Amino acid sequence: MNLTKTLAQKKAAAVQNIPADKLAIMNNSTNKLKTALLSKKAVSTGSILPDFNLPDVKNNKVSLDSFSNDYYVISFYRGGWCPYCNLELQALQAVLDELKSLNTALIAISPETPDHSLTTAQKNDLSFTVLSDLDNVYAKQLGLTFEMPEDLRTLYHAFNINVDKHNGNTNYELPMPATYVINKKREIIYSFIPEDYTERLDPETILDVLKKQ
């Protein structure tokens, strides 16, 4: 599964199927994030990734100290309602055995409540750690979050996407879909932080980075 190619196909289909006025609202939101250079303000390669203490799908608290791997892949996604996120999660699941062979733990984080995270994990047959960053407390610490504009909120509701219900709050904040590769000292050895939610770090790139360590 080539994630980059799959995402491009998904985006092309969206351009064909979503009415132009609605697509413009989505694109305008993304372009504002790019103009603000949001990713440049986020924690990135060369920094130390702060530890976290977040609930998993069974509401058990998990921190990086819970693991004893040589490397970690930390992937932020918007929620199980996002088709691009689901494609990314499925692609990560597909390389999980290879990551394990490199003594690498895979951890996905979203602002969804544990119940919704469980639904996402079950829907995508995920067997790696999925955590809930309630109110985006951790993502904010990394500089990853933004607030959805009003017109985008209205549009998502029209699409029957209720971010407020998934996140258990009404602040309509989401993280950029960032991916971090870190070592056991929590040093970030590779980061990918796109403002565009249709872009994700391809698992093949992750594997290449790890194999060069």
- Chain segment 159-193, per-residue pLDDT in tens: 999 999 999 999 999 999 999 999 999 999 999 99
User: What confidence score (pLDDT) does residue 79 get?
Assistant: 97
Angle at 87 between CA 53 and CA 12, to 5 degrees: 135
What domains sit in the chain, N to C, each tagged with a CATH number? 3-211 (3.40.30.10)
Residues 131-157 have a mean pLDDT of: 98
* Pick from 96, 44, 79: nearest CA to 203: 96
pTM: 0.96
User: What confidence score (pLDDT) does residue 125 get?
Assistant: 96
- Chain segment 41-90, per-residue pLDDT in tens: 999 999 999 999 999 999 999 999 999 999 999 999 999 999 999 999 99
Look over the chain and give the mean of its residue pLDDT values, rounded to a whole number. Answer: 97
User: What confidence score (pLDDT) does residue 1 get?
Assistant: 65
Res 116 pLDDT > 80: yes
The span from the CA of 57 to the CA of 21, in Å, is 37
97: left (phi over 0), alpha (psi -120 to 50) or beta: alpha
User: What confidence score (pLDDT) does residue 21 get?
Assistant: 96
